[in-house]
Amino acid sequence: MDNRPIGVFDSGLGGLTAVKELQRLLPGEDIVYFGDTARVPYGSRSRETILKYARQDVRFLLGFGIKAVLVACGTVSAAALPELTEEFSVPMAGIILPAVRRAAVATRTGRVGLIATQASVRARGFERAMRSVRPEVTLYSDACPLLVPLAENGRVGRDDPVTRLVLEESLAPMRGRDVDTLILGCTHYPLLAEAIGAALPGVTLVDSGAEAAHFISAAREWDRAAPDREGRTRYYVSDNAEGFARISGLFLGRPIGHSVGLVDIETIL
Ligand code: DGL
């Protein structure tokens, strides 16, 4: 048995889509969440910058004596995961393989869409994963950079006129491709799942954050916490703790106001 916490990080709110599922699957585990709200978005940055940020995020979490890391960020998973797993000895999982596996099982037509950040699409990690899991599937990828700011600002409702307009434009290329399954390859996007579902009716949506939570909860590289204990989650951000608490409380369905700590992530070497 191992009661040390699991570390989870993202550039902002998106990783909460994984935390929510992890809390449901493993209620006895302590979780430490870090959202790099001072430097979001990661998806429009260079690979070098993403790697630098991700290293600092992992080092911050290591300070809590964590037993595993869930990289709940598609961008870091796509652009930096091989380097991170090589550099750090703590067991680590990203979102790409879990999301691709789910999509490969879900598709009936073999036509799957991927929406993700610019850096994730550029890295082509989802394509590589799909080739290894189910090579006959055709994957159509689009970067949707305007979706992260919508999620970070809580503009996620399907009736929000700005959200509708942004989704209409962002999803227009996907409409003509007749996909039956769409990977939400950025962990922010499941926050918009209802609105995306309304814009692409009949398409099965794959929540990459939730799939990653399932994946890590089944991993054998780390030991579970003692049975019957109640896990607690601590939240840290690098900016605007109040804004994070407000929007994440809405998403998680319970107030987290007093438990959000502020971190100067730039000072972590
Ligand atoms: N939620 C992240 C991802 O899954 C990052 C979005 C961003 O910071 O651009 O890609």
Q: What is the pLDDT of residue 99?
A: 98
Contact 259, 32 (CB under 8 A): no
Q: Is the pLDDT of residue 257 over 90?
A: no
Half-sphere exposure of 101 (CA within 13 A, CB side): 10
Distance from Cα 1 to the centre of ligand 1, integer Å = 33
Question: Ligand 1: which of 16, 20, 95, 148 to mutate, judged by most atoms within 8 Å of the beta carbon?
Answer: 148
The pLDDT tens digits of the residues spanning 92-122 come to: 999 999 999 999 999 999 999 999 999 999 9
**Mean pLDDT, range 47-67, rounded to an integer:** 98
* DSSP of 130-143: HHHH-TT-EEEEEE
The rounded Å distance from CA 229 to ligand 1 centre is 32
Question: Residue 158 burial (CB < 10 Å; 0-12/13-18/19+)?
Answer: middle
Q: How far apart are CA 146 and CA 85, in angstroms?
A: 30
| Residue-level pLDDT at 151 | 92
Joined together, the tokens standing for residue 238 give: 């690098």
Q: Who lines ligand 1 at CB under 6 A?
A: 10-11, 14, 40-43, 73-75, 117, 120, 148, 186-188
Q: Which atom of ligand 1 has the smallest separation from the CA of 95?
A: 4
The reported pLDDT for the residue numbered 214 is 97
Residue 183: its H or E element: strand 181-184
CA dist., res. 11 & res. 46, Å (int): 14
Model pLDDT, residue 259: 78
Question: What is the C-alpha separation between 74 and 212, in angstroms, rounded?
Answer: 10
How does DSSP classify residue 160?
-
pTM (whole model) above 0.85? yes
pLDDT band per the 50, 70, 90 thresholds, residue 165: very high
What's the rounded Cα separation, in Å, for the pair 137 and 209?
22
In angstroms, the CA 150 to CA 134 distance is 33
Tens digit of pLDDT for each residue in 28-55? 999 999 999 999 999 999 999 999 999 9
| Smallest CA separation from ligand 1 atom 8, residue | 41
How many angstroms does the Cα of residue 151 sit away from the middle of ligand 1? 10
Closest CA to 123 of 164, 71, 78, 168: 78
Residue whose pair of structure tokens reads 């799909």 in the numeric block: 130
Task: For residue range 147-156, list pLDDT tens digits in order.
Answer: 999 998 999 9
Ligand 1 geometric centre to CA of 227 (Å):
33
Residues classed as catalytic = 73, 186
Q: Given CA atoms 64, 22, 132, 116 in this order, what sign does their dihedral have?
A: negative
Which of 2, 19, 26 lies closest to 217 in space, CA to CA? 26
State the average pLDDT for the chain: 95
Alpha helices per DSSP H over the chain: 16-25, 47-62, 74-87, 96-106, 118-123, 125-133, 147-152, 161-175, 193-199, 208-217, 241-252
